[in-house]
Amino acid sequence: MTIYYGSNVANGTLATASTMSSTTGGTETTAVTTVSGGGVWCETFSRAASETAVGAIGSPSGKGWVASPGSGSFATGNWSAAIALSIAATATVAWTVRFYKYNGSTYTSIGTIATSGASLGTTRTVISFSATSMSGISFGSSDLLYVDLWMNDSTGTGGDNPKVYESNSATQGVANDVQVTTSTFSPSGGVTHKIICDGFGGMFT
């Protein structure tokens, strides 16, 4: 498995998103998404921003988090997440985290994990997204792993203003702030041959 930690630092490839790292050591900061309107869905952005609530979960906006795994493949296996959140006033809300491969123009879905509705208020709370099996997927050297987060409040998300807790560093995350655990990632590489001498001056591989 690989663990990625989210930050609020703009990514150099997808500037609207924020960078994820695979090491800890960063300092916690927060980002608030200010929500207006009466829709029951809103996205929780990786950096402070405003939006209008909508009636259904939307397409990727590019305002989530990204990691650069490099060339290789994620195996078929479990993905999970742990994300620290709070909202402006106590309400019963549910969350959906989504994973994509982004190749510069297209988002290819890897999978989704949703939680059941539960009470949340102004206190920092780690929301756990249960381990869920997802199909394997290959990445090219310039592809990004893209993650986004949506909130549902059946009474309307306007004014809920979700706050996400994350690192202030693009290279060092904070455990259990924005934390994504993937299936095993195998980098692409050449085949290694072992050369063995037979004791009579010959060699074979």
Please provide the DSSP assignment of 29-79 as one string: EEEEEEEESS-SEEE--SS-EEEE-BSS-----S-SEEE---SEEEPSEEE
Q: Is 3-204 assigned to CATH 1.10.260.40?
A: no
Q: Where exactly are the structural domains of the chain?
A: 3-204
Q: What is the mean pLDDT of the chain?
A: 94
* Average pLDDT of span 81-92: 98
Task: Please determine, for residue 198, whether its predicted confidence score (pLDDT) is greater than 90.
Answer: no
* For range 9-38, the mean pLDDT: 98
The pair of structure tokens assigned to 37 is 């309107």
pLDDT band at 204 (very low <50, low <70, confident <90, very high): very low
Indicate whether 194 pLDDT > 50.
no
Helix residue ranges per DSSP H, the chain: none
Q: What's the predicted TM-score (pTM) here?
A: 0.91
How far is the C-alpha of 92 from the C-alpha of 61, rounded, in Å? 25
pLDDT band at residue 200, thresholds of 50, 70 and 90? low
